[in-house]
A and B are shown apart, each in its own frame.
Chain A
Amino acid sequence: MNKKPVANARLTALKMLAGVLDCRQNLAESEQENTLADARDRAFARHLAFGVLRWLNALEWLAGGLLKKPLRKKDRDIERLILIGLFQLWKSDSAAHAAVNENAESARKVGKPWAVPVINAVLRRFQRERTEWIARLDSKDERYAHPFWLLDAFKADWPEDWQSIAAANNEPGALWLRLNQQFDQEETSKGLAAAGFHVQPHAVIPGAVNVSPAAGVGDLPGFASGRLSVQDPAAQLAAGLLELAPGQRVLDACAAPGGKTGHILESEPGVALTAVELNQARMERVKENLSRLGLAGTAQLQLITGDSSAPDTWWDGNPFDRILLDAPCSATGVIRRHPEIKWLRNPSQVADAAARQVRLLTSLWPLLTPGGILLYATCSVLQVENSRQIQRFLANHPDAESLEFPATWGRKQDPGQQILPGEQDLDGFYYARLRKNP
């Protein structure tokens, strides 16, 4: 099997959108942009596809109002060209003339010349009546650009903050790096600065630096040699919260892609780490990451492709002093980096994720040694996966105690600590520390 080669950024963006909206693919899985040889074209295709996915239902509402009559289902490509054009005119600083013409002309390239005047008419009308349409949109729930079920879930969980969560989800996240503490971090920063990047440490999270302008990893000096990794500072909290010490037996229960796995070994190379990952292909990513960081040969490191919710299939019976359960979740805390999540998720998937988290928690708890700590983490903002999940776990496990932790980030929950997306420029994250009492 092969895929159609495309060499035009706008048509590539169209393919990326079809991949997400028709084939339910993550944008990260999309190989479409690789069909473009020029890095600027690739960046532009991403800009268009991410922009449309960020504002999808708001753009759809505008398009619905501006179209004389609705398009047929088989003309989804034409509708998406309209969405791309509206995004460019409304949210992006593209030249208006180019946005109108190029989107209209693209109809010819997809073999639908009849649609050139349709696209032209809609986009020109938006240019003329922009103020009026934006004012009308402002009275609609579509202005938040989230599916309504998710907006309702935010409202229920965060009655004071749901609007700022929605707004933060629609702002692209900056590029954050984790500087490997096995190297001189000063030197690493200097290398980045020498390559023309502006380097800014995070206000409260040590080792995390913001780099601008954003770039691909290939352009970051020190990436290939393992001096740094791309990771949001919120995710960089995990290793510290584990309170690692040499000789501890540590389990990383859902390891892929290996960001936190690498961080554990960078911060305490003397632990005996077991990293488990269910998916064979994703385990390869863990290995790649560890090799790049020069950690693949760490003594007492064990990589196991297996199911953490069925430990009897892989566990050797020796209890762990620390368990990191970075649980599969709705990923509703990282929408700013993955806007397609809004349209790929549905309420039943959230329920499935919550059920999976229960299975993982209950099957991993017996593996923890008395006095040991399990760190539970999600990149979700939904309480059913976070504080409510842990409340229920504590109620069912009298030997589990939730540890308080003084944090200069996030907000205290009962139990645990929640970061809402955008706060201190962090991804949305939840952490709970559970100690097993003898």
Chain B
Amino acid sequence: MAKLEILEIPDVRLRTIARPVEAFDADLVQLVADMTETMYGAAGIGLAATQVNVHRRLLVLDVSESQDQPRVYINPEIISAEGSETCEEGCLSVPGIYAEVSRAEKVRVSAQNPDGSSFEEDLDGMHAICLQHEIDHLDGKLFVDYLSPLKRRMVTKKLEKQRKISGQKPARAVL
């Protein structure tokens, strides 16, 4: 297993739209294992392949308290959604920024397992929120895209400041 590098904004590769997973092979199993390790290593509760520069439609997540119930969704699709709730989100690709985002409260998702078998599942609570957040990544979207223009300017400034401190280039490209 290996920890993978997580892309951070303003990296334009985060804007790539991922293509479906077609090969359910040993490489896929390895990628899932690496992504899971990377997610845990970064104290994340979800990670999309896009974030580790693999532009295929899969994601891992674990919203359990004990952080020992990893789940994998390959080619996930939300087939129905209802309700709305607002929850504070953060993102491993947008370090240090946390903001409230409104999403569907309950979703029904169809997806595949690493062996190619299909399943459907009803999700709610943090599980539903995290899944929607990660599917957005596969479509090149970030949670900060949902913020009001004013809030986004504040986020941009905060990121610029953070990057100045760490001696990196200012973040402008994606926000």
User: Taking CB as reference atom, which chain A residue is nearest B48?
Assistant: A1
Question: Taking A1-B91, A23-B125 as contacts, is the C-beta distance between A28 and B65 under 8 angstroms?
Answer: yes
**Bound-complex Cα distance A18 to B85 (A):** 12
**Bound-complex Cα distance A284 to B67 (A):** 13
Identify which of B20-28, B29-37, B129-137 touches chain A.
Answer: B129-137
**Bound-complex Cα distance A24 to B121 (A):** 19
The proximity string for B residues 99-129 relative to A, scoring 1 for CB distances below 8 Å and 0 otherwise, is: 0000001000000000000000100111001
The proximity string for A residues 14-27 relative to B, scoring 1 for CB distances below 8 Å and 0 otherwise, is: 00001100111110
Contacting B at CB under 8 A, from A17-58, are 18-19, 22-26, 28-31, 34
A3 within 8 A of B: yes
Question: Taking A22-B87, A23-B125, A23-B126 as contacts, is the C-beta distance between A2 and B65 under 8 angstroms?
Answer: no
Min CB–CB distance A42 → chain B (angstroms): 12
The proximity string for A residues 116-131 relative to B, scoring 1 for CB distances below 8 Å and 0 otherwise, is: 0000000000000000
The interface residues of chain A lying within 8 Å CB-to-CB of B45 are 1-3, 31
A71 within 8 A of B: no
Interface size on B, residues (CB 8 A): 32
Which secondary structure dominates chain A's binding surface? loop
Interface centre among A3, A22, A24, A26 (most CB of B within 10 A): A3
Contact in complex: A3, B125 (CB < 8 Å) = no
The interface residues of chain B lying within 8 Å CB-to-CB of A3 are 45, 88, 90, 98
Min CB–CB distance A213 → chain B (angstroms): 22
User: Taking CB as reference atom, which chain B residue is nearest A281?
Assistant: B69
Contact in complex: A24, B88 (CB < 8 Å) = no
**Bound-complex Cα distance A34 to B134 (A):** 23
Question: Taking A29-B63, A29-B126, A284-B69 as contacts, is the C-beta distance between A22 and B42 under 8 angstroms?
Answer: no
A140 within 8 A of B: no
User: Taking CB as reference atom, which chain A residue is nearest B129?
Assistant: A23
The interface residues of chain A lying within 8 Å CB-to-CB of B47 are 1
**Bound-complex Cα distance A1 to B142 (A):** 10
Min CB–CB distance B51 → chain A (angstroms): 10
B80 within 8 A of A: no
The interface residues of chain A lying within 8 Å CB-to-CB of B65 are 28-31, 34
Contact in complex: A281, B64 (CB < 8 Å) = yes
Q: Which of A5, A19, A22, A26 contacts B86 (CB 8 A)?
A: A22
Min CB–CB distance A367 → chain B (angstroms): 25
Question: Taking A22-B86, A23-B129 as contacts, is the C-beta distance between A1 and B69 under 8 angstroms?
Answer: no
The 6 closest A-B pairs by CB, nearest first: A1-B46, A4-B98, A1-B133, A23-B87, A2-B44, A2-B90
B interface residue numbers (CB < 8 A to A) = 42-47, 61, 63-65, 67, 69, 71, 85-92, 98, 105, 121, 124-126, 129-130, 133-134, 143
A–B complex contacts, Cβ < 8 Å, 8 sampled: A1-B47, A1-B61, A1-B134, A2-B92, A24-B105, A25-B126, A29-B65, A281-B64
- Additional A-B contact list (11), CB under 8 Å, known A1-B134, A31-B64: A1-B47, A1-B89, A2-B44, A3-B45, A3-B90, A4-B88, A22-B87, A23-B126, A24-B85, A29-B65, A29-B125
